Chain A
Amino acid sequence: MGLNRQQMSRRSFLQGSGMGAATTVILDAGLPDFLEEARAAEPDTVGPGAVPITLQVNGISYALSVTPATTLAEALRDALELTGTKIGCGRGACSACTVWLDSVPIASCMTLAVDVGVRKVTTIEGLAKGGDLHPVQSAFIAHDAMQCGFCTPGMVMSCAALLKENPRPTEEDVKAAISGHLCRCGTYPHVIAAVLDAARNGKS
């Protein structure tokens, strides 16, 4: 199994790590890009006091100082005042805090700000291009896929990520994409309708 570092993607790394022998291969080949870059961007040990980091958020580079315990969600909300990202549980159970790292939706309450490294963060504030809403956002409005709206930013981020990966999702695909999201108001039926509609009409 010849392994070219340049071709090592996050997905193949994750798939590979599930196969016993692959671990050795990876060690032989060095770290995959994203870990290598993350390591290069940071010293090995940080804290316990505040440390300077740089976050790339919605295309803007921010220099800030955070304690190592600061989550990405806290850094976004408190330091950068990007309060569109919501914290519902603080422990990865509700997905209200979903943002993208590069284009992967993650729980920002379960991600330390110091671990983000060079990966690009996209939050709900960065999804619309100028005044143009993302098709998922427009479809959420048209289908009333929100009530109190507190879970909505996270839900929108996961649905928009789905359409990026899979422009023609089935209802099952949509359910899979939002299966970790908790909406107490019960907007799921309208969310599903909105995403399927966005896929039909949008050019995401």
Chain B
Amino acid sequence: MAGETRMQKYPVGIASVSLGEIERRVSVDEAPPLPPNDKLKFIGKPVPRINGRAKVTGRATYTVDVKLPGMLHARLLRSPHPHARILSIDTKAAARRAGVRAIYVLDQVIGRAVEADPEPSQGRRVLYVGDPVAAVAAVTPQEADAALDLIKVDYQRLPFVIDIEDARKPDAPPVFAGPVQGTGFGDIRSLEQHGNVRGPNTSASRGNATAGFATAEVMVESEYRTQVQTHCCMETHAVVADWRKDGLTVHMSTQYTAGIRSQLARAFHLPLSRVRVVVDAMGGGFGSKSGVNNYVLAAVALSRNANAPVRLVLDRHEEQIDSGNRPATVQRIKVGARRDGTLTGVSIDTYGTAGVTTGAGVGNFAQAIYHCDNFAMAQSDVFVNAGPGCAMRAPGNVPGAFAYEQVIDELAEKLGLDALVLRERIDPSPVRRDERRLGAERFGWSRRRPPNSDKGPIKSGVGLAQSLWSANVNVNSACEVRILRDGSVEVRSSVQDIGTGIGTVLAQVVAEELGLKPNDITVRIGDTDFPAGPPSYGSITTASITPPARNAAYQVLRKLIETVGPSFGADPEALVARGGMIASPDGRHRIGFREAAAQLLVTQISAVASRSDDYGGFGRKFGEMAQARNSLGGVQFAEVTVDTETGRVRVERVVAVQDCGRPMNPLQIESQVQGGILQGISFALYEDRILDRHTGHMLNPNLEQYKILHVRETPSIEVHLLQNYQGESATDAYGIAEPANVATAPAIANAVYNAIGVRLRTLPMTPAAILAALGRVPKRS
């Protein structure tokens, strides 16, 4: 049937506003169009998560809970110096210690920028405090720790630089000996590099910003700074590697089982068929568990050398210094506009630091959210001797929106326009227009007062900000659905549940298609023995795996119907599955799903489907990664109080209106949105990785001095979801995790300004920063 197509009509539009239809030409292998959610039984309904019982009873198995027979415990020796050359490593004494089974010296390391023209090796250089040096596998973690103490490393200490401003100076100690190749997403071009400054990357520019400024009637110019944020997954990075003659099995707390398999196969020269990656329950990732890193390579090598399974779990200190982080940014933004608000020119000059790697950009927020023909963007990475950054929930767009959404408010004030009105004029998105309208109404935006209206010491204020995130899809996403002869059904994919509940969504989708209940579906995921599923990052998962799941269910159901339809005299083409039956549309011919399955001549039938392109085509596609033509949005409104005597900011209330195409499970989506908002508040007010610039050591490498929002700081949150149908896939669903995290910090910052009449342009907005902004204490340098 390959290549055959048919025309189909799909619902399109926002359900609460107006719904129309769009006709698409689709493959005959695609399941027929789904009606809007109100006509469905399980899709779009608040189905409780299928592994909820396992999680509340402690039976869910996380990687840290995996215990294999004969398993050894590994620990890593890490550099105490921010920059040093390893002259020699002596592991003899450690190797002699009873209980030690294998030692691995990390001669080659990953997870940092790579010099384009590496210096002739005079011994490896460690680049940050915590850079892994060697690993030991022993019969207990304590034995492994004790053995680490016996490894003698002779370091030649080298000059280092920790502070981003120091690192930009021409005479700063260089982190890399020469220019590096890019490692970040979409940034593989060679860029200029002077000392520790790599860039600028100007590829996002368009038009002529200077000419645009010349026609401006109003100009706004400001500098914004954001801090380094660490992921703080509750389950630290963890792996259990089991190297055997017939292949490698790796249990790993990861966001991408299929990707880890590919990386490990390459690294250890194994065929893909001999590498298996498994994750059952997974204790958070937020971007930091997307790929293989040094600790994984070490565990696999140790397992190979010791001929035994090896468990390696980072402790919280290691997690804070060497498991990735959200890079710091400095953003100089200039916006020119006409009196009516029309943007005539925008220039954004940014630098940031992801420590010893690249990727400190500010995303596509400013370049994509508002209409402006003349847009100049120059982004540079600054290297410092600190642990490498990596993707963290809406990388780039979170710091980018913090700055840009405040600049837009600054412009609105200068123009004498309400912040909402200005956005109404410059935002081309019809979806966000509806989100602003609904949000403003629910929040009571019309009751907004001028800045600094309260006379007492505790001042309240309100603010809003908008969100933008690409609607990402990974077409390398496959799913199998099996019907067994006893009527049971299995859905299988390597896609992993990092806590967003994708397994539950798969059960909903398959149940809907087969006319069964979600509980009837056995969900098997998180294992590369199943068809390769998508990663759980980039808010990509639901959009990528739910269409193949539905199409596979549709295809396997057709097989079942073709088998049993003739036996009860019905036209197989016309039969549908609903309410546990397979029936003709008029209900005259019907057979129970189980009875139908019992007629199979084989124990099971199966169909595997992979992600088709969006029906209307993608906006961009590079390899297996694609972006839908429409992006994801959202608008958040925040109310804060600021105690001008203590400097404490309290977020009282947040109203969020978000969109993710067809919402699949509003209960789980609400959880995601709440999480995005709470992480946004935490980023805005509390979190800050503090490095001692004299030693390179992190001063708050734990969960009590690295401040994170707890329940006491949790405001009242109201979440509204649009049903935004676009007719792009068999489910028309997109992600939500990241767009929910983009608008929060700027909404709070705009609310703080509204409360006190002073704008906070640096994160986090701590009491000290507020008091300094109010002139009550001296500013810290």
- Per-residue contact bits, chain A 181-202, to B (CB 8 Å; 1 contact, 0 not): 1111111111110000000000
Task: Tell me which of A17-25, A37-45, A144-152 binds B.
Answer: A144-152
In angstroms, Cα B315 to Cα A87, docked, is 10
Are B708 and A182 closer than 8 Å at their CB atoms?
A: yes
A85, A123, A141, A184: the one contacting B284 at CB < 8 Å is A184
Whether A84 sits at the interface, judged by CB under 8 Å, is yes
In angstroms, Cα B252 to Cα A171, docked, is 37
Are B498 and A144 closer than 8 Å at their CB atoms?
A: no
Determine chain A's interface SS by DSSP, over half rule.
loop
Whether A118 sits at the interface, judged by CB under 8 Å, is no
Are B714 and A189 closer than 8 Å at their CB atoms?
A: yes
Are B56 and A123 closer than 8 Å at their CB atoms?
A: no
In angstroms, Cα B704 to Cα A155, docked, is 18
- Given the known inter-chain contacts A144-B49, A144-B671, please indicate yes or no for A82 contacting B58, CB distance below 8 A: yes
- Given the known inter-chain contacts A86-B235, A133-B56, A179-B712, please indicate yes or no for A188 contacting B678, CB distance below 8 A: yes
Shortest distance from the beta carbon of A125 to any chain B beta carbon, whole Å:
5
Residues of A close to B500: CB separation below 8 A: 147
- Sort chain A's interface into a size bin: 35 or more
Whether B579 sits at the interface, judged by CB under 8 Å, is no
Shortest distance from the beta carbon of A128 to any chain B beta carbon, whole Å:
6
Whether B243 sits at the interface, judged by CB under 8 Å, is no
In angstroms, Cα B712 to Cα A191, docked, is 13
Whether B675 sits at the interface, judged by CB under 8 Å, is yes
- Per-residue contact bits, chain B 2-14, to A (CB 8 Å; 1 contact, 0 not): 0000000000000
Residues of A close to B675: CB separation below 8 A: 147, 185-187
Task: Tell me which of B60-68, B561-569, B630-638 binds A.
Answer: B60-68
Residues of B close to A100: CB separation below 8 A: none
Q: Across the interface, name the chain A residue whose C-beta is closest to B741.
A: A186
Are A190 and B671 closer than 8 Å at their CB atoms?
A: yes
In angstroms, Cα B233 to Cα A191, docked, is 19
Whether B674 sits at the interface, judged by CB under 8 Å, is yes
Residues of A close to B236: CB separation below 8 A: 88
Most buried by B among A127, A156, A183: A183
In angstroms, Cα B56 to Cα A81, docked, is 17
Whether A142 sits at the interface, judged by CB under 8 Å, is yes
In angstroms, Cα B282 to Cα A186, docked, is 15
- Given the known inter-chain contacts A83-B65, A144-B668, A189-B717, please indicate yes or no for A150 contacting B283, CB distance below 8 A: yes
Are B316 and A91 closer than 8 Å at their CB atoms?
A: yes
Whether A89 sits at the interface, judged by CB under 8 Å, is yes
Shortest distance from the beta carbon of A143 to any chain B beta carbon, whole Å:
8
In angstroms, Cα B232 to Cα A137, docked, is 25
B55, B286, B710, B717: the one contacting A182 at CB < 8 Å is B710
In angstroms, Cα B54 to Cα A84, docked, is 10
> Which residues of B (43-90) have their CB < 8 Å from a CB of A?
46, 48-49, 51-53, 55-62, 64-65, 67
Are B232 and A141 closer than 8 Å at their CB atoms?
A: no
Are B281 and A149 closer than 8 Å at their CB atoms?
A: yes
Shortest distance from the beta carbon of A166 to any chain B beta carbon, whole Å:
16
Are A144 and B703 closer than 8 Å at their CB atoms?
A: no
> Which residues of B (666-685) have their CB < 8 Å from a CB of A?
667-668, 670-672, 674-679
Q: Across the interface, name the chain B residue whose C-beta is closest to A84.
A: B58
Whether B616 sits at the interface, judged by CB under 8 Å, is no
Whether B451 sits at the interface, judged by CB under 8 Å, is no
Whether B234 sits at the interface, judged by CB under 8 Å, is yes
Are B671 and A182 closer than 8 Å at their CB atoms?
A: no
- Given the known inter-chain contacts A86-B235, A93-B702, please indicate yes or no for A123 contacting B58, CB distance below 8 A: yes
Shortest distance from the beta carbon of B134 to any chain A beta carbon, whole Å:
22
In angstroms, Cα B57 to Cα A133, docked, is 8
Shortest distance from the beta carbon of B663 to any chain A beta carbon, whole Å:
14
Q: Across the interface, name the chain B residue whose C-beta is closest to A91.
A: B702
Are A185 and B55 closer than 8 Å at their CB atoms?
A: no
Are B60 and A133 closer than 8 Å at their CB atoms?
A: no
Whether B711 sits at the interface, judged by CB under 8 Å, is yes
Residues of A close to B55: CB separation below 8 A: 146, 149, 152-153
Residues of A close to B757: CB separation below 8 A: none
- Given the known inter-chain contacts A89-B316, A186-B674, please indicate yes or no for A144 contacting B48, CB distance below 8 A: yes
In angstroms, Cα B56 to Cα A146, docked, is 8
Whether A90 sits at the interface, judged by CB under 8 Å, is yes
In angstroms, Cα B56 to Cα A123, docked, is 11
Are A182 and B703 closer than 8 Å at their CB atoms?
A: yes
Whether A175 sits at the interface, judged by CB under 8 Å, is yes
Are B58 and A183 closer than 8 Å at their CB atoms?
A: no
Q: Which residues of A contact B (CB under 8 A)?
A: 77, 81-91, 93-94, 96, 123-125, 127-128, 133, 137, 140-142, 144, 146-153, 156, 175, 178-192
Which are the 3 A-B pairs with shortest beta-carbon distances?
A84-B58, A148-B499, A186-B678
New A-B contacts (15) at CB < 8 Å, excluding given A147-B284, A147-B675: A77-B65, A84-B58, A87-B64, A93-B702, A93-B704, A137-B53, A144-B49, A144-B52, A148-B283, A149-B56, A150-B235, A151-B234, A184-B286, A184-B679, A189-B714
Query: Could you list 6 examples of A-B contacts with CB < 8 Å?
Result: A144-B46, A147-B671, A150-B62, A179-B711, A184-B232, A185-B284
